[in-house]
Structure 1
Amino acid sequence: MQQANSVGKDIPAPDFQEVFNSLAGNFLLLQPNPPHFTILAASDEQLRLTGHERHEVVGKGVFEVYPENPEDASASGPSNLQASLMRVMQSKKPGQIPTMRYDVAGEAGVFEERYWTTTNKPILDVAGKLRYILHTSAEITAQVLAEKKAAALREIEQKYSLFLQAPVAVCIVAGPENRVELANGEMLSLLGKTSDIIGKPLFESIPEAAGQGLPDLLDQVRNTGQPFYAAEYPVTLVKNDSEELCYYNFVYQPYYANPGDTVASGVFSVVHDVTEQVQARQKVEESELQLRSFIESSHHPIGVYVGREMRIQFANQAIKDGLGKGNDIVGKLYKDVLPELENQQVFEQLEEVYTTGIAFHAKNHRLDLVVGGELRTHFFDLSMTPLFNTAGEVYGVINTGADVTELNEARERIAESEWRYRTLIEEAPIATALYLGENLTIQYANDIMLSYWGKDSSVVGKTFRKALPELEDQPFPALLEKVYASGEAYVGTKEKAELEIDGRLVPGYFNFTYKPLFNKEGEVYGIHHTAIDVTEEVLAQRQVEQSTRDLQNLADAMPQIVWIAKPDGKVTYYNERVAKFSGARKLPDGNWHWESMVLEEDEQATSAAWHKAVQTGTPYEIEHRLRMQDGNHRWHLSRALPQRDSAGNITGWYGTATDVHERKEHEEALEIKNRHLISINNDLDNFIYTASHDLKAPILNIEGLLTLLTDGHTSIGDQKDDTEAILEMMKGSVERFKKTIDSLTEVAKLQQAYEFNAEQVHVAEVIEEVTLDLAPLLTSTQAVLDVDIAPKTTVRFSRKNLRSVVYNLLSNAVKYRSPHRTPHVQISCHQSDHYQVLTFADNGLGMTTAQRKSLFTLFKRFHDHVEGTGIGLYMVKKIVENADGKIEVESKANAGTTFRVYLPV
């Protein structure tokens, strides 16, 4: 017990241990406590060479860890080492052992012959007291054994017959040309040659080897006199007319023709063919690579832990993400990565699997893991499966697990709710299979995949084509072979496969993936196959499609336009009515661009309403005009309702467009009549006021004149002239009264004639007619008239009313001319937006701003020198507005006036 405490105090600090362990060399740090010479530290290289773990050597005596070989009666290694250590303690000076045989026990306890060069160096403290002994050794087993073999071969040199019978390949080549002096049967067989090569340069017989470094090695040995040792040296030789890559262990020993020669005359070689051993090891490495590729390509969490200490050798991304410990866990101990699993039986379960070789499986296994710095409870479906080496010994554990925490929590919530299902599917069905080699041999297929195939595990080991002969005439074997050849994955969606289930072909539909697996050379060595059965989904979809076709047939029989849209608003279906109505057809992209059917004036409002409905999920309704095949349009009421699934998500839209043209026209006509009635009422108020005012004056005049007559005026003498004058004045008042009555009659007619028969009228023809009617006025005033109107310019208007508009505006332009200049009138017409704009510009008297404000007032006149009633411009304005047009005026006093009449196209 005291010794253990003493040793514990002398063991260096952990940081020193880490540095010492990683030193590049074979070192032991020993405590100078004979006869034990306790090991305080051991480098990684020392442990590797002797096949020990650190915990097996540190704290123990060097001769306890490395005992004497009991089978070797001449063994002197331990005694020589002990004597050297004692000399170092006594002299405090380094001691060396140039060559020492010290056998080491292997894994099975069998001692192996080993040779070393050894140095023991004292380490003193500041007071010069011996503190430690640093034991350094270099293994020279291969060299010593080679030298022994070379010595034996030199003896064989003297007896060629013995060489020829040697069970190993032996060859002697001489001179710079490497001429073959001796090659026994083993060597000839190894090279694939006959005895004809004796006496010839070696590389004339095997020219394919000349460029593989062998001539240089032979020259090096012959020139330096130093032997060369090679292990698993690759050489490509031509045997049986084909190239073969072989691997050899060989010794090149300098060969001296005579005793005492200092210059080698040739090279003596002993060769062992180790091709089979190398290929066997490569297969193991390839198998390991396949395992690594399978692990890394799997979507399920997989980790591989080796050694009893459970060091993480492989870990795919899924398990890294699941553990939440970062991506640098490979190479670390499992218990160091997940210390929180202490006392959760996980370490004990791993130990038991490693010890017994019996796998451990658990469903819904609870584990408390630290994720993101927080200890959280998780539930896993996990497996711990032992890994065996070729000797049948467990060397590690493969760990797989699926996080079912959410599923477990869902179960708990379901249990709390009586109205929900009592059971849930524990995990989604994922079928998996692995095929290896060009012939696609089934290496693995899980139960789900076997159930899909309708087969049992006896198909494992068979090729895909032999295991599933019913698929021979179906595309799947060819697809697999294409993936293997191209290295490109294939993803199938809802593809049909007919599989033999219980002796009959059963159709099914599957989503599946064929993913190629690559080795370290980048070559495909297998295919990973996953699949999900979507047969029910496909059949349900077909039923929905059939229901949709039935709905479309019903829709085609309806008089309305019926349409269907996706949740995002894209229209995918119209019934036949839309083609008959508008001639629209489905576009190559599968959609209907319904915007082309909507009249331009209604496009913005229609798009805005439809966008709002799609974004909010509220019903859609709008009245708009749809274009027909002949270019005309009709009013339609469009409605659409969203269709929702059981979760309330919108799955589509069903809509109709109903023809409401007649109703809309009636409504518009009624609205126009209402507006007109309001206008008539306003005009009647004005009419009553005007009539009362304008009729009152002539009546009062007549009343006054009658009074004069009744006051004694007679037609005798001088009074006769007065009487006649009064009568003339009365006659004038009556005439004015009649004109006022006529004007009011015209206004009344205009009010009643707001609806008129429109026709295509040539504007230039109407201008020419009015010009002929006003020819006397134009001639007498010497008026200049400029008309700039294209002959084919037309408006849809009443010809009589257009003539009235032109007549009033042109006659006014000449009547209200300036006395200081010749009247000049310009008439033009151009199209602006949806109007033909008819312009009358003159250089007459013009108007003030105040006059323009009351310009179109009934019976309003601004000049007394021109005869008129003041209703002309009022009637022009009414005619234009009744036709949904408008009139504008610009004027400047003593400069002129411009009228612009806007008539709808």
Structure 2
Amino acid sequence: MNGSQQQDEASTPHTRRFDTDVVLQAAGLGLWQIDPLTNLVYWDDYCGQLLGLGQANQLSYPAFLRHIHPQDVDRVDQALRGAMTLPPGGACEVSYRTRGADEGRGQWVRLIGRSALNLAGLVDGLAGVAQAVTPPKETAPEPVRQFGPLQTMLAHLQEHVYVLDREGRFRYVNQPLLALWELPYEQAIGKNFEELGYPSHLVSLHGAQIQQVIQTAQPVDGESDYVSPQGVAGFYEYTFVPLLAPDGSVEAIGGHTRVVTQRRQLEKILNESETKFRTIIEQAPVAFNLLVGRDLVVEVANEVVLGYWGKDRSVLGQPVRQAVPELAGQGFFELLDEVFTSGQAYEAKAAPATVAVNGVYGAYYFDFSLKPLRNAAGQVYAIMSMAVDVTQQVLARREAEAGNRQFRTLLEAIPHMTWTNTPTGGVGFFNERWYAYTGLSFEQTRDWGWQAVVHPDDLARTLSAYQRTLTTGEEFMLENRYRRADGVYRWHLNRALPLYGDDGQIVQWVGTATDIDEQKQLEAQLDQQVQTRTSQLQTSVADLRRSNDNLQQFAYIASHDLQEPLRKIQSFGDILRNQYASQLGEGMGYLERMQSAASRMSTLIKDLLTFSRISTQQEATLPVSLTDVVHLTLSDLELTVQETGAHIRVDPLPTVHGDASQLGQLFQNLLSNALKFQRPDASPVLDVRARLVRAAELPAGVEPTRPAMVYHLIEVADNGIGFDDKYVDRIFQVFQRLHGKSGSHYNGTGIGLAICQKVVANHGGAITATSQPGQGATFSVYLPV
């Protein structure tokens, strides 16, 4: 491509873009674009002014969202992301306030956009226009007429009071009705019964009744069952009354609703009480019977008590002594006589009794009560007996007591201090090792008395951790110091775990205290050693930094000192060649070989200095356009390109963060090598291309110096002489050349590719190559996104 072609192709799009910008700005439109791959937003200058985005023409997507009013961010983000989601061709249109709209610094704008696809069928971006729009008008319901003190009273009535307009929309609602709806006042006002979630039959009924009030100017009463939108069921009586304007017309409807749920339920309960009472007695899991008269006749006995007696319903109507003679001798009949005579109730816990279960009598335990019933004259006429079988609880308690004794024995056997405490923190048990260590008694350390042996410096954090554990139920773990009986404090590791009951609640905590004093002393010694080693390492790092500085200074000075005699050799050689060539004769060949060797030595010194600087230079993090870097490099190689007749194709390359100078040296070496190592029978053909690859797609052996999810892959491919793949690791080492200097027209120092490897490593990437002799070579550079 010649210079004039580049100028024409560059100027024509610029002219078209200028005309388009003028037209768009005249229409009040700005251009914007979102790249989902880079997560960047781009815009033209006019769009930046509309959206309040500043002078730059790109931002990250999260930074772009921060220029949107906080109340509109979620809505705009949802609209834009929805347009970039498959299926393709998504569009969006959304209006919002720019940041600072409340303070008068922003404005309302509208974004209109559509997504586009790439060749792979994936969403490649979202682009569109932006324009300023008029703020939407907010509508508010007409205010309800102010009632003054009367309105305050209505707001706090327990009954529901409200006002409807002629269309059935709520204009006033008191607090009890808002509490039923579970809505704030602002969300209820202006809505009708249907919008508030009332069932359809009530919506129709109330609509007809409201029209009736409007037409007749007379109140309407009604009653209905109702389930609120929040699931609250009940019965209501209501009244709609007309509210008249000065001219006598109905301007609004007042509403008054009374909750009659409790009355309805009470009526139902009273109607069903007898049946329920009988059903409860029969289905109750406790033994129940009613004994009437001085003979204690069995009038009521449920299935549970009949089962314990081993009888059926034939015992009803018989005196209890006659009906259940098996109870004689257990003291039950004597207790009945005493309660009937004294009129005093009797209760017993875990009382033993011999009763029948499945027809077989055996020993059981009951919690039972005998309550005398009195008539209107105050005389005892019956005894109500209830009994609950607690046999399993009694046996379980006895088993638990036995287990607790075993548990205490185990805690005594543990070679550490142990304790148990209640869910509220009071300690109720210490093993003997605690008392032997502290020299205190149980009374001195019970509950919270143990604080006396904690080191004063550790007490505050010990209590804080202990209280936090009691609150959260998490494991208690803490290191602190306990005072021994001789006054010496020793470090202990405390641990406590909760024990849960059948109901899932903590019933107690079990803790241990392990002596770790020797371990703490060893840790202190290790910390001192670490500090010493760290100090030594810092000294070594400082020495290394000074060494690197000295090396860099040496490299700079050495390069200048070495170049100076070489320049004199070359200068004197030029004088000999220009002024004494005829006199040198055959010596002229030696002179030219000397000049060639001096030139190679000069190039070698420059390459070594470049490699040294790249090895010690700090990585820069400025945005660098690789497209600009490659075009600038090709401009430097323009003479070589023309001499070799090379054909070069450069695809659009990404922008990366790095050092432009180092990246220029990278492509200078790659492109110059591609032009140098060409077959004599073919003109050079070079391709520079780029694409994205995921970390999982990296070839084996390629290990970038900075990990990333995605990498830029930049490939420089040629049709040159190539090389054997087995030398791929060797070519990136200093002074390694696959083509020797002797008898070869491929000149070089063997440092260029080592410089490439160092530049790529400085930028967090990796470089490799693939080739075969006579088939060209492809150098692959991976840079993190």
TM-score when scaled to structure 2? 0.35
Q: Which has the higher contact order (CA 8 A, sep 6+)?
A: 2
- Which entry has the higher C-alpha Rg, 1 or 2? 1
